[in-house]
Structure 1
Amino acid sequence: MKCYVIPTPQGIDSLILVERPDPAPGLRQVLVRVRATSLNYRDLMTIQGSSARAAPKPDLVPLSDGAGEVVAVGAGVGRVKVGDRVAGCFMQRWPGGAIDDAATASAMGGAIDGMLTELALLEEDGVVRLPDSLSFEEGATLPCAGVTAWHALVEIGRIKAGDLVLVQGSGGVSIFALQFARAFGARVIATSSSAAKAERLRRMGAEAVIDYRATPDWDKEAMTLTGGRGADLIVEVGGAGTLPRSFQAARIGGKIVVIGLLSGMAEVDPMPILRRNLHVQGLYVGNRQMFEAMNRAIEANRLKPVIDRVFPFAEAKEAYRHMKSQTHFGKIVITHGQSEH
């Protein structure tokens, strides 16, 4: 089989295509022919050697997110069968409950090999069936960005109709968060520095979009837009550069879910957390049960993931470069064969 590996993370050009023997499934394992994968900001950090998490394994096969069909199963497998359309879970050994060390040690595209390959050997408990309404390309966008947004809004945020959710930018997690919030009847305010992206966010249901470059004090604008109350839930993707403003844009007693560090790390004053009685929680994607619940909601609401651009397998480096350009809206996908998109 052909697969991409990162011998040493030294930038996008360190990605190389190699040939490896086809794997065979063992006890409670499934072999998946990968049809599509998608990129996350984590993947760019990994290949550049700038990840804040543990160093990736040597000769890593990158990308946590992928979808395809089961082509073989090992002994003891009962959850899926040959021919099923599935996506791999970000963490192969986190079927449910709270996260633990075993789960984080099974994170694909980092701790273990990922999905940028023709054939992927996955745990039986580490796959979910795709909604029938989604293509492989659409299904490949779900394992990290989709599940992260679901975890933030539903599992932690407990959103309900009429709640106000603030999302930052137009990356994969933020777009999924907007879609899920609207599906639950919640209101959404978004931030963006692009007029074109702002218009797309409005068409998707955002009732207001704040240009954070034209309005650096976007937290004050968010308070104005909410009549001085603030957001019930903020999906925080920026880190140190945006977290202090999120503290001020949340309502008293509001929730801030920290899921990214796009603007870097630095010391943050915790006083607003105390003064405003804020609930601030970090999360690391989500478990398989969350993934399955999200898929049921996607099917029921006929939601479609937003795909910015699809690259062929041979142009994987170009997909990374497109991610690095930060011009995308939604997800960047690599197709491993005939495209369904």
Structure 2
Amino acid sequence: MPLPTTQTAAIKTGSGDTAKTELQSIPIPQPGPSQILVKINYSGLCASDKSLLRDEWTFSGVTMQPQTHGIVGHEGAGVVVTVGSDVQDLWKEGDRAGIKWIASVCRKCEFCTNGVDECHCPEQVNSGFNIAGTFQEYTLTDARYATRLPDGVKDEEAGPIMCGGVTAYVACKRSAVRPGQWIVLPGAGGGLGHLAVQYAKAMGMRVVAIDGGDAKRDLCLRLGAEQFIDFNTTKDIAAEVKKITKYGTHGVVVTAATKAGYEMAPHLLRPGGTMVCVGIPKDSTVIAGAPPIMMCLRKLNVVGSVVGTLKDVEEALEFTARGLVHPTLTHGGLEDINKLVDDMDAGRLVGRAVIKISAS
């Protein structure tokens, strides 16, 4: 069947807190020699998409670039429909492919060639930031950096793993928590947090989940948390963590992009513990860390974590293929993006939002 010439896309209109997306008909692009064209079946909705749509990171100079044509989205999963002339040995029509936040790297710089740091390639290209993202029916991507989706992983689950899943997985690795040791996850019932609970459990960690309400309690315990702390009813969270773990946890992953979350995190750690920074606040005054005397006397570690390498994504998907990690999904269509963004901003969103892009 020949491809249509036009497609539907969700295009950003307006700016700041009042920015929205509206559905428009746009041309379907043709791949260059090293690209593939992917028909997107599902795309996750990430907090980063919200931040880009609503210009929340302008204080750091991170704003959507004109090359995106107003299209965000970076958790795409679908099927290859056209293959560029130089990469026909890598892909064929009908293959299943995933598109990530990092859509392409140079494969030549020090960070690309050392085997572990390609996420810091200075020439990287990012979906929904400086190229058009996955909130459109057909998306171009670099064939050499697209992810091959494994059997046993549905597109609706694969999409959110392209960013949310791999981010949670890599953050757990960055925590340096070993099997049998404690990790604490504030915001454990959220889009990233509920994935971190599952990865941490599957990696042998003992999970203390922090969130609010009975629904979040039930979710976190069902997903594998050993203990749950309700911030609505617990006056001293740090004291409760120490009561559970005796000396504090070995690691804490801060997924919530809040000042309170970053201020609390170091106080949950035992000596030698590691705080992993993941959530990116829109408030430029938020600082990650603790007073120097606390850092020194308790020998604390503070590390940052951002998405993951091509290999990390493959590993994250394998947990789902093995039946160990499954995103809790709230479904919607392209026409629902504005409502889902509002729900995310208000903390009403359950699990991870996933957008049905194209009819299968």
Per the normalisation by structure 2, the TM-score is 0.86
Q: 1:325 aligns with which of 331, 343, 346?
A: 346
Size of the aligned set, in residue pairs, is 335
Higher mean alpha-carbon deviation, 180-189 vs 76-85, is at 76-85
Deviation of 1:250 (Å): 1.0
* Residue pair 2:78, 2:155 contacting (<8 A) in 1 also: yes
Aligned equivalent of 2:21:
15
Q: Deviation digits for residues 233-278 of structure 1, max 9, x if unmatched?
A: 1111235322232111112111111000458443464322222111
1:56 aligns with 2:64: yes
**1:237–1:262: 8 Å Cα contact kept in structure 2?**
no
Report the equivalent of 2:358. 337
Could you give the per-residue CA deviations for residues 26-62 of structure 1, whole angstroms, max 9, x where no partner exists?
Answer: 1211100001111111222222221254111133201
Classify the secondary structure of the residue corresponding to 1:304.
coil
CA–CA distance in 2 between the matches of 1:164 and 1:321?
Answer: 34
Alpha-carbon separation, structure 1, partners of 2:79 and 2:205: 35
Residues 216 and 38 from structure 1, CA distance in 2 versus in 1: closer, same or farther, beyond 3 angstroms?
farther
Residue of structure 2 in register with 1:304 after alignment: 326
% identical equivalent positions: 26
Higher deviation after alignment, 24-33 or 210-219 = 210-219
- Determine if the alignment matches structure 1 residue 87 to structure 2 residue 98: yes
Structure 1 position 28 matched with structure 2 position 34: yes
Q: 1:126 to 1:216 in 2, by over 3 A?
A: farther
Q: Deviations over 1:144-196 (max 9, x none)?
A: 11111111112x23443212111111222211111111112211001111221
CA distance in 2, matches of 1:11, 1:135: 33
Residue number among 127, 130, 140 corresponding to 2:146 in the alignment:
127
Which of 171, 176, 199 is the aligned partner of 2:218?
Answer: 199
Q: What are structure 2's unaligned runs of at least 5 residues?
A: 1-6, 106-111
- 2:103 counterpart SS class: coil
CA contact (8 A) 1:149 1:173 kept: yes
Hey, what's the Cα distance between the residues in 2 that align with 1:127 and 1:25?
13
Unaligned ranges ≥5, structure 1 = none
Aligned to 2:84: 74
Deviates more, 1:295-304 or 1:140-149: 295-304
CA RMSD of aligned residues (A): 2.1
Query: In the alignment, which residue of structure 1 is the partner of 2:334?
Result: 313
Structure 1, residues 105-157: CA drift from partner, whole Å, max 9, x if none?
51212232210001000001331122322221111111111111111112x23
Alpha-carbon distance in 2 for matches of 1:275, 1:301: 42
Q: CA deviation at 1:101?
A: 4.7
SS in 1 for 2:157: helix
State the match for 1:285 in structure 2: 307
Tell me how far apart the structure 2 counterparts of residues 120 and 13 of structure 1 sit (CA, whole Å): 23
- Assess if the C-alpha contact under 8 Å between 2:77 and 2:97 holds in 1: yes
Q: Distance in 1 between matches of 2:168 and 2:224?
A: 16
What is the 5 A alignment of 1:107-146?
A: 107-146=126-165
User: Does 284-293 or 31-40 show the bigger shift?
Assistant: 284-293
Tell me the distance in 2 between the aligned counterparts of 1:82 and 1:216. Answer: 57
Whole-angstrom CA distance in 1 between matches of 2:27 and 2:133? 16
Task: Answer whether contact 1:240 1:261 (CA < 8 A) is retained.
Answer: no
Q: Deviations over 1:298-325 (max 9, x none)?
A: 3234432221x10122322222222223
Give a deviation string over 1:264-293, Cα, whole Å, max 9, x none.
Answer: 443464322222111111122112111012
The residue identity in structure 2 corresponding to 1:203 is R
Distance 1:210 1:302 in 2: 24
CA contact (8 A) 2:181 2:205 kept: yes
Q: Mean Cα displacement is larger for which, 48-57 or 24-33?
A: 48-57
TM-score (norm 1): 0.91
